[in-house]
Amino acid sequence: MVKNLPNRSEVPIEETWSLTDLFAIEKDFDAALEGIKNEVTSFVDNHKGKIDSASTINDALKTYASIYEKIVPVGTYASLSLSTDQTNTEAQMRASKFGSLSAKISSQLSFINSELVTLSSEVIQEAIQLSPEYEHYLTKLLIKKQYQLHPEVEKTLAAFSTTFNAPYKLYGTTKMVDLSFDNFEVDGKSYPLSYVSFENDWEGETDTAIRRTAFHAFSSKLKEYQHTTAVTYDMHLQIEKTNADLRGYDSIFDYLLLDQEVDRSLYNRQIDLITKELAPHMRKYAKLLQKEHGLDKMTFADLKISLDPTYEPKITVEESKKYIKDALGVMGEEYLGMVDRAYDERWIDFAQNKGKSTGAFCSSPYGHHPYILISWSSKMNEVFVLAHELGHAGHFYHSNKEQNIFNARPSLYFIEAPSTMNEMLVANHLLKNSNDPKFKRWVISSIVARTYYHNFVTHLLEAAYQRKVYERIDQGLTVNADILNEYKREVLEDFWGDSVEINEGAELTWMRQPHYYMGLYPYTYSAGLTISTQVSRRILSEGQTAVDEWIDVLKAGGTKSPAELAQMAGVDITTEEPLRDTISYIGSLIDELIALTDEINQN
């Protein structure tokens, strides 16, 4: 039974993460803020107007890196403390305090890039020869040189950075603070509803009447906020469009893809191929769910149900540790040591409480250990979610240790490969250790319903919808709730065809996803999973060689492009082959589910 969520102060401390590794007490946080202010002032005095040679470039970047390393934990502390309880006034004020500081120092430090781009390529190359560790930073800067504005304009834009980030903050406040759900009733019985309970429980509820009523109640409440949320999103889109136009990009897509180090063909291919070629497989899966549950019809509200709800193991946090360590054992002792520390040293926030951010994420501040947020529901499915976030943690645990702060983060295009890799390793391990048809069906259905549905369907359809939105914005137009609802419904109907009824409320799904405030992020989930599917299959067939190459990829951080990182792991993403092969693999999994179901039903 789903219960009303407790306040943050009421959850057991052992279920929460410990942010004291960042700052032991609030005074330390305030002292760090003051120290950063002073260092930035000193940096400006010592370097502004004086970056004119290879040696002065490297001196400036060395000090800038040091300042950046001190800013990261401060920003992380402010962000993470708010993410666990967005109703907490103290956390709100702390985040605002950091936001104000961040905008001020971004403006003060904007001169660095402005001065660097005025220097000749020869001077930049000389600086790279003297200090190769700054090659990646300087090379990327040269690529962006044509889009750099006048120094005073850059300084002004940087000063407005907090204002430009306001739509995302406003979205989160509306979603997690203002939006409050009433209980819903089925057959005279009342059930509590919240964002967390809907996404963790009611969306996958086996009782059809309860599930569909919960969906209707949830969607009805979202609808009350659709216009405010649409205006908030449009504000964000117009900021991005203005930035792209001011800087002289041909399109908003070019502006957003530049940092990802991929061209538009890879972006479009990911969306177009999956929309066209995965749809028939997923429609077959939807029909299987409908048949097994004896549904009168398959609706959008039914897509998250388990194929076999009677075989959904419950699992404690402590039990999850053994499953994950056994599954990730192939990654080696150092990796497993990181997993142990994540549990033992409270890197993970498991609690469910009011005001906590929905979903799950991993924050990996440079120079510090990662932090993982998850709302533990005790379902075995959470093992895949936690393994996913530990994949991010393992990635940055390695890259942060091996690379400097400028080189640690890879392109957004690649960011979901290490996380989805861990989901594949968990699935491979579970399948290898049982021949029981019911257990095999549960594992495979978990891969399809969680790993592939989440990354190749949910996020991919978000990407297809997002592309429609950006194409409209690129024409100089705006969006409102009606337009966004129409676009979302079109994408859903196109993918599911007549196999799934897109019931009222499904079009509001765009309101649930914060990724839209993070550029072209949604499509990268399927891009990352394409890479990890191929590499995980290599690990199954080649063993340690493939593992060692993957660890080297993690250590490389952002020093190579996504195509180069994938190539290191034996995958060529410049061709359609890996994506087509992955889609085919998903199809084979669904066919196996159908065969296993027939076998089970005959016994």
pLDDT 10s digits, 529-583: 999 999 999 998 999 999 999 999 999 999 999 999 999 999 999 999 999 999 9
Output the CA angle 283-286-292, nearest 5 degrees: 145
Question: How far lies 202's CA from each of 38, 199, 349, in Å?
Answer: 51, 7, 22
Beta carbons of 556 and 565 less than 8 angstroms apart: yes
Tally DSSP H helices, then E strands, for the chain: 26, 5
**How far is it, in rounded angstroms, from Cα 382 to Cα 454?**
13
**pLDDT at residue 149, rounded to an integer:** 92
The residue to which tokens 């203002």 are assigned: 178
Question: How far lies 237's CA from each of 164, 168, 324, 520, in Å?
Answer: 10, 11, 39, 12
Exposure string for 581-600, b = 16+ CB within 10 A, e = fewer: ebbeebbebbeebeebbeee
107, pLDDT greater than 70: yes
Coil/strand/helix, residue 253: helix
Confidence of residue 468 (pLDDT cuts 50, 70, 90): very high
In a 10 Å sphere around its CB, with 0-12 CB exposed, 13-18 middle and 19+ buried, how is residue 423 labelled? buried
- Residue 373: its H or E element: strand 371-373
Which of residues 195 and 297 earns the better pLDDT score?
297
Note the CATH architecture for domain 8-163.
Answer: Up-down Bundle (1.20)
Ordered by start, the domain boundaries in the chain are 8-163
Closest CA to 464 of 268, 233, 253, 277: 268
- Residue 382 tokens read as 């959470």
Beta carbons of 349 and 332 less than 8 angstroms apart: no
N-to-C CA span, the chain: 32
Strands lying side by side in the sheet with 348-349: 348-349, 371-373, 361-363
Backbone angles phi, psi at 362, to 5 degrees: -125, 130
The amino acid present at 203, given as its one-letter code, is E
pLDDT 10s digits, 314-354: 889 999 999 999 999 999 999 999 999 999 999 999 999 99
Coil/strand/helix, residue 108: helix
**How far is it, in rounded angstroms, from Cα 474 to Cα 483?**
15
Residues 6+ apart with CB under 8 A from 87: 176, 177, 354, 355
Output the CA angle 571-573-577, nearest 5 degrees: 85
- Residue 208: its H or E element: helix 208-224
pLDDT 10s digits, 240-295: 999 999 999 999 999 999 999 998 999 999 999 999 999 999 999 999 999 999 99
Closest CA to 233 of 162, 168, 178, 160: 168
Of 236-250, 443-457, 522-536, highest mean pLDDT: 236-250
What is the mean pLDDT of the segment spanning 459-470? 96
pLDDT 10s digits, 373-423: 999 988 888 899 999 999 999 999 999 999 999 999 999 999 999 999 999
Confidence of residue 358 (pLDDT cuts 50, 70, 90): confident
Instruction: Check residue 193 and report its DSSP letter.
Output: -
Confidence of residue 3 (pLDDT cuts 50, 70, 90): low
The CB density around residue 281, as the number of other CB atoms within 10 Å, is 22
2, pLDDT greater than 80: no
**pLDDT at residue 42, rounded to an integer:** 97
Confidence of residue 170 (pLDDT cuts 50, 70, 90): very high
Q: What does the mean pLDDT of the chain come to?
A: 93
Closest CA to 396 of 424, 368, 360, 359: 368
- 310-316, Cβ contacts within 8 angstroms, sequence gap of 24 or more: 311/438, 311/439, 311/441, 311/442, 312/379, 312/380, 312/381, 312/442, 313/379, 313/380, 313/442, 314/378, 314/379, 314/380, 315/378, 315/379, 315/380, 315/382, 315/383, 316/378
Query: What pTM value is reported for the model?
Result: 0.88
The CB density around residue 176, as the number of other CB atoms within 10 Å, is 21
